[in-house]
């Protein structure tokens, strides 16, 4: 109780800063419009009955949750599902599910906002994608005896060390969690080391392996590649961050010395950075084409992916994929999206969010780790010069994805065993 009182005091004390970070307008950052009160629990539900509440904080979690939601609705057609996200980009991704779900913005972790949200929505259970654990959410669900499941959960060694330093706080969080379905045995072992009983843990695998891109994605990728040029070497740097784009542009300048017609497809992680990255490309004196430009593509040196939801198409159009958030200390992003399209995968050294996936891809020789922009340029040159190696690397990456599929069905079984559906 003492820790919750301190926590609640702090979040109210710093609430102006928290709200400013969430709502302060930035160029390219989509706003929340008239729906911002939903973050304060001021929501309405049109389902008419107790829904399953599924929370996916942003785009990545929402993409992972999409096949799960579709399968849940296929098995339980009458089951109402309320999806919450914190971000607008996550909301836009949820909107693609149409009438399968109802979407609302998640309440911020103020106790009164959470209580108001639960009173209005009256969920029968809470499903949390990955490890988005909020003290007041869990306490309020525990008070109402609502089952809480964490799905596709991961716990890095770094996060486990943090929880170990504040073990009493972790115990307060975990006592209101019904079950945690972990991606890997390593994750389950770390939760168990923190004191979670084995009976509340299972290993279901990563839902992200259950990627099944339809023919339309590959066909649109081929159309884009035809526009960009089928005879030129094309690599993509996806989900990049500030401090990383400069390194990647340096890599491309290096690559152009040996492959003057090479093309970099550059896709920043956050839409508010699109204009900033475009200016950075021009500062490096590289010719630029933006995906949102209407005029036909000529032969730019950099193609900026400044749209949301089209990354798979751009991955399908490339020969080699580099995944960002890894040349800086961000822990990397999902390596499986290019792997599922049979692309050779490259990443920087910071992959602590995806160490298990990176290790498995690397052991199968479907992925490589580079430690600098210079090493990335050398690796790209080697792969562009050796098509058989490039093809073998892409095939190995795809085989890892296929070998690990099945997490979706195991997760659905776990949900069915734990929740009143």
The residues annotated as belonging to the active site are: 61
CA distance 90 to 92: 5
Tokens of 163: 């929880």
The SS3 assignment for 194 reads: coil
Measured from the Cβ of residue 227, the count of other Cβ atoms closer than 10 Å reads 14
Kindly give, in sequence order, each residue whose CB lies less than 8 Å from that of residue 21, ignoring residues fewer than 6 positions away. Answer: none
Torsion angle, CA of 249/255/261/262, rounded to 10 degrees?
-60
Measured from the Cβ of residue 1, the count of other Cβ atoms closer than 10 Å reads 7
CB contact at 8 A, 311 and 327: no
CB contact at 8 A, 191 and 177: no
| H or E segment to which residue 322 belongs | strand 320-323
Nearest alpha-carbon partner for 397 in 356, 354, 368, 355: 368
């Amino acid at each position: 109780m003492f820790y919750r009182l301190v926590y609640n005091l702090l979040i109210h004390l710093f609430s102006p800063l928290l709200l400013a970070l969430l709502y302060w307008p930035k160029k390219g950052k989509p706003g929340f419009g008239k729906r911002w009160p939903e973050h304060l629990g001021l929501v309405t539900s049109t389902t008419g009955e107790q829904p399953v509440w599924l929370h996916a904080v942003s785009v990545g979690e929402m993409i992972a949750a999409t096949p799960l939601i579709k399968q849940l609705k296929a098995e339980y057609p009458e089951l109402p599902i309320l999806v919450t996200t914190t971000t607008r980009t996550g909301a836009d991704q949820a909107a693609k599910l149409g009438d399968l779900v109802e979407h609302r913005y998640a309440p911020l972790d103020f106790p009164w906002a959470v209580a108001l949200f639960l009173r209005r929505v009256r969920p029968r259970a809470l499903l949390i994608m990955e490890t988005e654990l909020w003290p007041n959410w869990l306490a309020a669900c525990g008070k109402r005896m609502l089952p809480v499941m964490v799905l596709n959960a991961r716990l890095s060694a770094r996060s486990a060390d943090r929880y170990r330093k504040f073990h009493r706080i972790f115990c307060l969080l975990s006592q209101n969690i019904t079950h945690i379905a972990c991606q890997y045995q390593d994750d389950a072992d770390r939760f168990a080391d923190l004191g979670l009983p084995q009976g509340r843990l299972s290993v279901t695998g990563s839902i992200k392996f259950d990627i099944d891109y339809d023919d339309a994605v590959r066909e649109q990728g081929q159309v884009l590649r035809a526009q960009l040029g089928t005879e030129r070497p094309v690599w993509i740097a996806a989900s990049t961050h500030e401090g990383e784009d400069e390194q990647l542009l340096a890599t491309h300048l290096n690559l152009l010395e040996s492959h003057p017609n090479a093309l970099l497809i550059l896709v920043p992680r956050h839409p508010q950075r699109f204009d900033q990255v475009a200016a950075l490309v021009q500062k490096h004196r590289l010719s630029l084409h933006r995906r949102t430009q209407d005029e036909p593509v000529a032969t730019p040196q950099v193609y900026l992916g400044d749209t949301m939801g089209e990354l798979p198409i751009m991955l399908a159009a490339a020969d080699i994929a580099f995944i960002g958030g890894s040349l800086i200390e961000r822990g990397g992003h999902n390596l499986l999206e290019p792997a599922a399209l049979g692309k050779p995968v490259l990443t920087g050294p910071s992959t602590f969010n995806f160490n298990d996936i990176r290790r498995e891809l690397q052991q199968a020789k479907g992925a490589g780790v580079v430690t600098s922009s210079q090493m990335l340029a050398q690796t790209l040159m080697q792969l562009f010069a050796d098509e058989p190696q490039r093809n073998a690397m892409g095939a190995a990456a795809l085989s890892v994805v296929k070998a690990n599929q099945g997490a979706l069905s195991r997760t659905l079984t776990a949900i069915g065993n734990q929740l009143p559906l």
